[in-house]
């Protein structure tokens, strides 16, 4: 048997500590071909998340990977950011020089459309922030929808972290999430049920620090800051690497246990706006529309992360 072809992905992100780790994993694993990175407002304003994406590309040596700046506002609602978790810059903690790498000429939405239209239907979209860019691309050019191989997203879950019902990425732009979840594209969802199990404990962080290259040192600093804020805000003992889970799935889906379930997006509820309504018991009788990640093999997950970061 020949070597498996690398999986082509576009990461749509709002770096973000865990977004940065997702980019680094995609940049160093031979199972991934990183077609480009698009940015969106989420953890911080889009100007900040774009600078952060450029900084991550520079430390990773991804100088030829296009970075396209995207939406600065949700489709309908007022923008919200997550400074209490990610700091004012969106990626507080490590100190990195101002990037010399520049952004692509086109808007992220147009970059996504161009790449998909020119593709053989083999590009996976990996949105790990609010879904504004993806929804806008689908609305602007519906011809892209059947050309998307899969959407592997971080968002949602059966409980919330921004409100009691809603996870941050979905809450920030639930109207965009509704467009994406109802698009008919094959969808795999990494919600809080899974990502809270992917916690970089102090022991895991020590393994990463021991790699001893500039990228692993950077990841160590990211995780230290992230662990501190998660301890302060949520009482966690480790740093959940939410967004990295999506890239890990693209590299090796066998790490994760998933179930096909029906998921609706709540956009009208007074207390439940932004909720991913996951039909765990099939009570609605609706056809499953989302592959929902629910568990992971801890040993395989962290071994793969350490191996990938060691490649830098």
pLDDT in tens, 120-160: 999 999 999 999 999 999 999 999 999 999 999 999 999 99
Is 0.85 topped by the overall pTM?
yes
Asked if pLDDT for residue 20 goes beyond 60, the answer is yes
Q: Mapped to the 3 state alphabet, what secondary structure does the chain carry?
A: CCCCCCEEEEEEECCCHHHHHHHHHHHHCCCEEEEEEEECCCCCCHHHHHHHHHHHHHHHCCCCCCEECCCCCCCCCCCCCCHHHHCCCCCCCCCCCCCCCCCCCCCHHHHHHHHHHCCCCCEEEEECCCCHHHHHHHHHCHHHHHHEEEEEEECCCCCCCCCCCCCHHHHHCHHHHHHHHCCCCCEEEECHHHHCCCEECHHHHHHHHCCCCHHHHHHHHHHHHHHHHHHHHHCCCCEECCCHHHHHHHHCHHHEEEEEEEEEECCCCCCCCCCEEEECCCCCCCCCCEEEEEEECHHHHHHHHHHHHCCC
Asked if pLDDT for residue 271 goes beyond 70, the answer is yes
- The mean of the pLDDT values for the chain is 96
Q: Residue 169: its pLDDT value, please?
A: 97
- Of the candidates 14, 18, 110, 173, the residue annotated as catalytic is 14
Residue 3's pLDDT band, with cuts at 50, 70 and 90, is low
Q: Is 14 a catalytic residue?
A: yes
> Which one is predicted more confidently, 89 or 32?
32
């Amino acid at each position: 048997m020949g070597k498996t072809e690398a999986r082509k992905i576009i990461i749509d992100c709002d770096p973000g500590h865990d977004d940065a780790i997702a980019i680094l994993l995609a940049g160093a694993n031979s199972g991934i071909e990183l077609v480009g990175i698009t940015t969106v407002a989420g953890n911080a304003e889009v100007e900040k998340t774009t600078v952060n994406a450029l900084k991550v590309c520079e430390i990773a040596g991804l100088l030829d990977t296009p970075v396209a700046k995207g939406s600065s506002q949700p489709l309908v609602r007022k923008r919200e950011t997550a400074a209490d978790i990610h700091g004012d810059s969106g990626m507080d903690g490590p100190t990195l020089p101002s990037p010399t790498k520049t952004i692509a000429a086109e808007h992220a939405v147009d970059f996504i459309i161009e790449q998909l239209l020119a593709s053989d239907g083999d590009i996976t979209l990996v949105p790990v922030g609010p879904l504004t860019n993806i929804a806008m691309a689908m609305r602007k050019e519906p011809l892209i929808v059947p050309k998307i191989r899969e959407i592997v997203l971080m968002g949602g879950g059966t409980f919330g972290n921004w409100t009691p019902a809603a996870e941050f990425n979905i809450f920030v732009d639930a109207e965009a999430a509704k467009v994406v979840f109802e698009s008919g594209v094959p969808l795999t969802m990494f919600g809080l049920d899974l990502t809270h199990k992917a916690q970089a404990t102090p022991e895991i962080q020590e393994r990463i620090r021991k790699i001893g290259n500039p990228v692993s040192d950077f990841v160590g600093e990211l995780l230290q800051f992230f662990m501190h804020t998660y301890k302060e805000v949520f009482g966690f003992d480790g740093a959940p690497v939410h967004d990295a889970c999506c890239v890990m799935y693209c590299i090796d889906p066998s790490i994760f246990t998933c179930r096909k379930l029906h998921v609706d997006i709540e956009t009208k509820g007074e207390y439940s706006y932004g909720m991913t309504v996951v039909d765990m018991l099939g009570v609605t009788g609706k056809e499953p529309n989302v592959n929902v990640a629910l568990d992971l093999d801890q040993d395989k997950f962290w071994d793969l992360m350490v191996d990938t970061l060691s490649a830098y």
